[in-house]
Amino acid sequence: MESTKLRRRALAVGTATVAVGALAIAGLTGVASADPAATSAPPVSADSLSPGMLDALERDLGLDADAARSRIANEYRAAAVAAGLEKSLGASFAGARVSGAKAALTVATTDASEAARITDAGARAEVVGNSLDRLEGVKKTLDKAALNKAPKNVPVWYVDVASNKVVVNAASTAAGQAFLKAAGVDSSLVTVAESAEQPRALADIRGGDAYYMNGSGRCSVGFSVTRGTQGGFATAGHCGRVGTTTNGVNQQAQGTFQGSTFPGRDIAWVATNANWTPRPLVNGYGRGDVTVAGSTASVVGASVCRSGSTTGWHCGTIQQLNTSVTYPEGTISGVTRTSVCAEPGDSGGSYISGSQAQGVTSGGSGNCSSGGTTYFQPINPLLQAYGLTLVTSGGGTPTDPPTTPPTDSPGGTWAAGTAYAAGATVTYGGATYRCLQAHTAQPGWNPADAPALWQRV
């Protein structure tokens, strides 16, 4: 059964307009937001991209310095245009992607009459049969089925905007078809692709620096954050639970996990002691530190680089957004699939496009010798879940989030900030739910919207 939600797009059908700032020929400039409420990329000079990032893009994507700067400028512009078109197209929006050396933007719609609007905004229009909402509804149904029973030999599924289908990667066609049948989804909207992927959480244990958990195990710092006056960093949930202590790259006492969710999501944050000062930097591993200027999310096809304490800097492209992946520990939803390699110990490390933070390393398959596929948890939902502020350049102190996040509850006993054990029951919105995974509740992870954590009874 498909579940279709128009979400934010339905609020702006026919009302939003696309406004894109000019891109200076001499270098990168800022991009005006397509929506006043959206996050816009701050002005970026041609010299702001670190030599380390340019070197990595040349090594992994075959781009020289000029081509790398040009591509990143086009990707910034594409992100702004895509965000504006998503709102203005409303229910007919069917996804966006960039392709080619110049990162040309394609925006899909189910309504042929909207093609001119897309073209006028500077993108290539593509008319398809399925809206993004429809395909995401199918994926949500698959997510719910996986919660009830983890699919055997089906490691990954996602919405593929290029093919306008949901793609299920499975060890065999039969395994993929069995998953579709169990979920009860319309198979005409799904492509089953055979895959040898065996993803796992990369928990062998500045962004990208190593840290150590409870004296054993190593992961990598994602991005510096603050919550009120408290400093810390974002990382992966599978690296530690609430209360896990950490030592830093220098093996000195560092901090404690304050929030952690895994599986379901793979997000966490660590509050650090006064000896550690959060900086808007990602370790370039011998190529110069990369400055974090913001967190504008990139689109499918955009270049992205990862920093981790095992393999350092590696780059690739974003393949799909909003992917679900099953590790041995359970299914993770909402991750971004990439062609960037990673290895154990890189978990939690930084994914960044240009100067824009993208997410924290979750897991993957393969390695950095033969290549692989990895997944990252997007940074913006992580920040929102824990009421955090990303530490960025630009001078001044970032705006602090509320000291106490809202409970996000329409009545009942469930409340954000409460630690729940597996088997615990709560009421929410007039219904009763049973806890499936021990966790500390976070804003936005209420029982009705977090099927990986709660089951209605």
CATH code where residue 246 lies? 2.40.10.10
Give residue-wise pLDDT tens across range 228-270: 999 999 999 999 999 999 999 888 889 999 999 999 999 999 9
Do 225 and 245 fall into the same domain? Answer: yes
| Paired residues of 97 in beta bridges | 106, 300
Do 230 and 324 fall into the same domain? Answer: yes
Residues in CB range of 294: below 8 A, 6 or more apart: 39, 41, 42, 355, 356, 357, 390, 392
Residue 5 has pLDDT above 50, yes or no: no
How much of the chain, in percent, has pLDDT values that exceed 70?
82
Quote the pLDDT of residue 203. 38
Which residues constitute the domain of residue 433?
A: 419-456
Residue 410 has pLDDT above 90, yes or no: no
Sheet holding 245-247, edge to edge: 218-220, 210-213, 245-247, 253-261, 267-272, 230-235, 223-227, 389-390
Number of residues in the chain: 457
Do 185 and 243 fall into the same domain? Answer: no
The more confidently predicted of residues 65 and 42 is 65
Mean pLDDT over each residue of the chain, to the nearest integer: 83
Residue 219: pLDDT band (50, 70, 90) is very high
Residue 323 has pLDDT above 70, yes or no: yes
Give the CATH number, domain containing residue 167. 3.30.300.50
The domain total for the chain is 4
Do 19 and 117 fall into the same domain? Answer: yes
Residue 396: pLDDT band (50, 70, 90) is very low
Q: If you ran DSSP here, which 8-state letter would residue 264 be given?
A: B
Mean pLDDT of 342-365: 96
| Distance from C-alpha of 413 to C-alpha of 110, rounded to nearest angstrom | 42
Do 209 and 303 fall into the same domain? Answer: yes
Domain boundary among 377, 403, 429: 403
Which of 56, 47, 99 lies closest to 306, judged by CA? Answer: 56
| Distance from C-alpha of 91 to C-alpha of 313, rounded to nearest angstrom | 39
| Distance from C-alpha of 155 to C-alpha of 402, rounded to nearest angstrom | 38
pTM for the whole structure: 0.68
Do 246 and 151 fall into the same domain? Answer: no
Quote the pLDDT of residue 30. 33
Around 374, how many Cα atoms within 13 Å sit in the side-chain half-sphere?
35
| Distance from C-alpha of 192 to C-alpha of 180, rounded to nearest angstrom | 9
Active site residues: 238, 266, 347
Mean pLDDT of 303-321: 96
